[in-house]
Amino acid sequence: MRTDTGQVFKLEDYRPSDYLIPQTRLTFRLSPEATVVVAELTIERRAELKTVTPLALDGDGLTLQRIEVDGKAVPLSAYVAGPDQLVLNAPPAKAKFTLVTETRIDPAHNEALMGLYRSSNVYCTQCEAEGFRRITYFLDRPDILSVYTVRIEASRQEAPLLLSNGNPVKSGNLADGWHYAVWEDPHPKPSYLFALVAGDLGKIEDRFVTMSGRDVALGIYVEHGKERLAGYAMDALKRSMKWDEDLFGCEYDLDVFNIVAVSDFNMGAMENKGLNIFNDKYVLADEETATDADFANIEAIIAHEYFHNWTGNRITCRDWFQLCLKEGLTVYRDHEFSADQRSRGVKRIAEVRTLRALQFPEDQGPLAHPVRPRRYREINNFYTATVYEKGSEVVRMIRTLLGAETFRAGMDLYFLRHDGQAATIEDFVQVFADVSGRDLSQFALWYNQAGTPNLTVSSHYDAGEKVLTLEIEQSVPPTPSESRKRLMHIPLAFGLVGKDGKDLPYKAADGATVENGVIHVRKRRHTVRFSGVTERPALSLNRGFSAPVTLSVAQKTDDQFFLAAHDKDAFSRWQAVNTLLSDALIAAFRRQRGGKKPDFTARLGELAGSIAANDDLEPAYRALALTLPSEADIAREIGKDIDPDAIFAAREALATFVASTNKQRFEALYASLLDNRPFSPDAASAGRRALRNVLLDYLSRLNGGVESAARHFKAATNMTDLAASLTVLAHRHPGSPQADAAIAAFAAKFASDPLVMDKWFQIQASVPGPQAVETVRALMTHPAFSSTNPNRLRSLIGTFSSGNQTGFHRADGAGYRFFAETVLEIEKRNPQVAARLATALRSWRSLETGRQAKAREALLTMANTPNLSADLRDIIDRTLA
């Protein structure tokens, strides 16, 4: 494990390396506890350098066995080899030389899951961001692009399958039952894209012929016996390959494309060139074991990793500060892909919900950082919702500013100009400035300035003049190390909705700030005048969520109800419903704290009923509109002095109110949505299931609710319905015989399927209430749990800490104490996963004072633990700062 050196890396300190490594030849002799790695590196001194400087290669926990330069052993006095570095004090003065090193590593005991490790007896690698240095000494930085040849040797019995990047060129037998394979990747790549897989795996195969006629062999490798579960992923892969050609002109560039699913994986998946490695959760699916959400995630992540082939691999990042160059852009591309494959409106709403749930709290708390950070202590901690999701929103805004056609021209120029390079955000923004002739300098602040901007909007309609005036004011709240903010360029899409529900025509007085339905907010205060507006409109703002901002709009409740029924923009229509629900919940919370019962307007209950029954709306949309803001959503809106128990009570009260207002309607609709056709994971079928399950949740709060949920559970023929009904039973009727029986039946049926048991852990870890701490503690001793597997840890500990407000934030602090103790245990094996879990405490300052003090104690317990990893130290220090 890496302990903290306290070093801070800064963007402004970037400097190209003195040496390059144009060629890398690696030989692996695989053995579980003693793998030998021989690296033969062609090293070039940068032509412009006048003097010979020391060559310092990165390592992490390595021991050097052998070192040669140009075929000759290097004397001990000429180098210094430590676990973290290999320094040649006086490398050969010539322009080019060969360095051979041999290291020995222990994949079987690699529990951090970075570098070369074993997962269920399969050798696999994870090198992003800095895992390659745990394999061999190297210039382990993304601007060092090298052509790799990889020879893998292993026992044929232990590892019949030998995979690496690029194309297979040779294979054969060796003595003693060993064999070998050689792979060549002709595309220069950074070390973080290196991959190796060896083991005994099952395979499914397919082919894809690219737009210029290249015939690509596709393979997905999974545990033997699970081949059948990889079919959906393969289908998603082929659709992704076609879509990237059609939409971006991006064609695949090798003869093979392989995907391997492994069960121990720190994140979702990894885009290694020609050899993507996946968390098996994002490959394996059938109707009996995967929910509709799982299918959608598989489709999106298969696409995401595939799309990286151009946005990330062909054009990579100059340094890790530029991470959003590949991640934000690739998330934008996978969002667009899913929108094209499914329902665009519904997809957009889901994206915004994710952004608000994950990125807004980050931006509004102690871990806030710009989409392109300027400093880090541990880069692993910057694979964040800000870099990924807000990074994607910034790309989306560029398209909004430029229009679809000019945006595509910019992307074409990006590929043309930077193919084969390690690029920066400045390079990326420049292509769009060049194709559009626009000045994007103010816009580029979105990459450099942290915090969620707020727009305050008020309006005035002059019926006599037929003029609508908007007053818009922007502000960006202070964030850590950025106390003073500059003004941003915010594209605010809007519509003026008339009484008939159609958008009213208008003339904008100031043509520069209003363009194609978008107000360009660039100053602190704007007054925008619209003339020729024939009636007082309802204001529809931030349509399609054109900018990742918060809005404070003085608007009549009547207008909200009107927009909730009539806005032609699906996102804004949903937003109107969501705002009404959210406002009602906040009011109920305040009454709750004041010791009063909530009172909800009948109108709100009727709105829910009319949305549910409106057959003109997609079922998936209706399901989203009927889903109440989460407890965390409400806490975020309230912002301070949070009491999770009062929020929970308010939310339960509204759910019961909506259910009882609409009992007959919901029952009838629930019954009509039963689908007897064979299962299909398509978006429309999934939408009907989603709506039916939302209705089940409402109805479960009324008389007979437990019986109907139990019936739903018994009759379920797919995992979506099974997991939804188990959730309803466990959450709404905890301790009931029906809930206990369902929990036991589920475990008995799926005991040997770890991915399904993850759902079982999740459902129980999120049962609201103070007992959750004991439940989770007990489940940690369940045979299906494993304290070394990241998926298990996230299902149980992650769900408890990030998905159970009343349990985690238990008033006596027991949730925090258990959490701190557990995170410290996990950290000993896997610092990356521990650090990510620890971010659950980032909003501790918005809690009421009692909980705040207890959360702080737990943070201090962690902070005062000696020898913390850089990963956890960084998160805890920033959270407390």
> Could you give the residue numbers annotated as active site?
305
Which position among 31, 125, 191, 266 is part of the footprint of ligand TRP (CB under 6 A)? 266
Nearer to ligand TRP, 264 or 633 (CB): 264
**Residue 305 touching ligand TRP (CB under 6 A):** yes
CA-CA-CA-CA dihedral for 138, 142, 147, 152, to nearest 10: 60
CB of 300 to Zn ion, least distance (A): 11
What count of other Cβ atoms lies within 10 Å of the Cβ of residue 169? 12
CB of 149 to ligand TRP, least distance (A): 24
CB of 318 to ligand TRP, least distance (A): 16
Helix (H) or strand (E) holding 218: strand 215-222
What distance in Å separates the CA atoms of residue 867 and residue 337, rounded to the nearest whole number? Answer: 44
CB of 128 to Zn ion, least distance (A): 9
User: Binding partner of residue 153 among ligand TRP, Zn ion, none, CB under 5 to 8 Å per kind?
Assistant: none
Nearer to Zn ion, 322 or 474 (CB): 322
Nearer to ligand TRP, 457 or 870 (CB): 870
Judge whether 807 and 767 are in contact, CB under 8 Å: yes
Contacts of 735-741 with CB under 8 Å at 24 or more apart are: 736/706, 738/706, 738/707, 738/709, 738/710, 738/713, 739/706, 741/710
Helix (H) or strand (E) holding 764: helix 754-765
Which position among 57, 162, 269, 642 is part of the footprint of ligand TRP (CB under 6 A)? 269
What distance in Å separates the CA atoms of residue 791 and residue 797, rounded to the nearest whole number? Answer: 10
What distance in Å separates the CA atoms of residue 850 and residue 356, rounded to the nearest whole number? Answer: 26
**Residue 327 touching ligand TRP (CB under 6 A):** yes
CB of 663 to ligand TRP, least distance (A): 45
Nearer to ligand TRP, 267 or 796 (CB): 267
Nearer to ligand TRP, 271 or 871 (CB): 271
Helix (H) or strand (E) holding 262: strand 256-262
Give per-residue burial for 107-139: e unless 16+ CB within 10 Å, then b.
Answer: beebbbbbbbbbbeebbbbbbbbbbbbbbbbbb
Which pair of tokens denotes residue 413? 């120029």
Nearer to Zn ion, 29 or 189 (CB): 189
User: Binding partner of residue 276 among Zn ion, ligand TRP, none, CB under 5 to 8 Å per kind?
Assistant: none
Q: Which single residue brings its beta carbon nearest to ligand TRP?
A: 267
Nearer to ligand TRP, 303 or 350 (CB): 303
Burial of 188 (0-12, 13-18, 19+ CB in 10 A): buried
Which position among 60, 102, 143, 271 is part of the footprint of ligand TRP (CB under 6 A)? 271
Q: Which of residues 121-150 bind ligand TRP (CB under 6 A)?
A: 126, 128-129
Cis peptide before 129 (omega within 30 of 0): yes
**Candidates 116-124, 329-337, 361-369, 566-574; binding stretch for Zn ion (CB under 5 A):** 329-337
557 to each of 6, 538, 562, 674, how far by Cα in Å? 53, 11, 9, 35
**Candidates 60-68, 146-154, 326-334, 669-677; binding stretch for Zn ion (CB under 5 A):** 326-334
Judge whether 172 and 94 are in contact, CB under 8 Å: no
CB of 826 to Zn ion, least distance (A): 24
Which position among 267, 346, 492, 826 is part of the footprint of ligand TRP (CB under 6 A)? 267
Report the chain's C-alpha Rg in angstroms: 28
CB of 305 to ligand TRP, least distance (A): 5
**Residue 299 touching ligand TRP (CB under 6 A):** no
Nearer to ligand TRP, 393 or 643 (CB): 393
**Candidates 141-149, 260-268, 325-333, 697-705; binding stretch for Zn ion (CB under 5 A):** 325-333
- Which amino acid, one-letter code, is at 669? L
Three-state SS for 269?
A: strand
User: Binding partner of residue 128 among ligand TRP, Zn ion, none, CB under 5 to 8 Å per kind?
Assistant: ligand TRP
User: Binding partner of residue 341 among ligand TRP, Zn ion, none, CB under 5 to 8 Å per kind?
Assistant: none
Helix (H) or strand (E) holding 341: helix 323-341
**Candidates 262-270, 624-632, 748-756, 766-774; binding stretch for ligand TRP (CB under 6 A):** 262-270
Token look-up 């694979």 returns 383
- Distant-in-sequence, close-in-space partners of 736: CB < 8 Å, separation ≥ 6: 706, 729
Q: Which of residues 364-403 bind ligand TRP (CB under 6 A)?
A: 383
Instruction: Number of residues interacting with ligand TRP: please give it, by CB under 6 A.
Output: 12
**Residue 479 touching ligand TRP (CB under 6 A):** no
**Candidates 269-277, 460-468, 605-613, 804-812; binding stretch for ligand TRP (CB under 6 A):** 269-277
Instruction: Number of residues interacting with Zn ion: please give it, by CB under 5 A.
Output: 2
User: Binding partner of residue 55 among Zn ion, ligand TRP, none, CB under 5 to 8 Å per kind?
Assistant: none
- Distant-in-sequence, close-in-space partners of 384: CB < 8 Å, separation ≥ 6: 359, 362, 367, 369
Nearer to ligand TRP, 265 or 818 (CB): 265
Interaction pattern, residues 282-321, with Zn ion; x per rule: CB under 5 A: ----------------------------------------
CA-CA-CA-CA dihedral for 343, 344, 350, 352, to nearest 10: -170
Judge whether 117 and 189 are in contact, CB under 8 Å: no
**Residue 270 touching ligand TRP (CB under 6 A):** yes
CB of 265 to ligand TRP, least distance (A): 6
CB of 383 to ligand TRP, least distance (A): 5
CB of 304 to ligand TRP, least distance (A): 6
307 to each of 271, 341, 409, 596, how far by Cα in Å? 9, 15, 18, 53
Judge whether 538 and 499 are in contact, CB under 8 Å: no
Residues that bind ligand TRP (CB under 6 A): 126, 128-129, 266-267, 269-271, 304-305, 327, 383
Residues that bind Zn ion (CB under 5 A): 327, 330
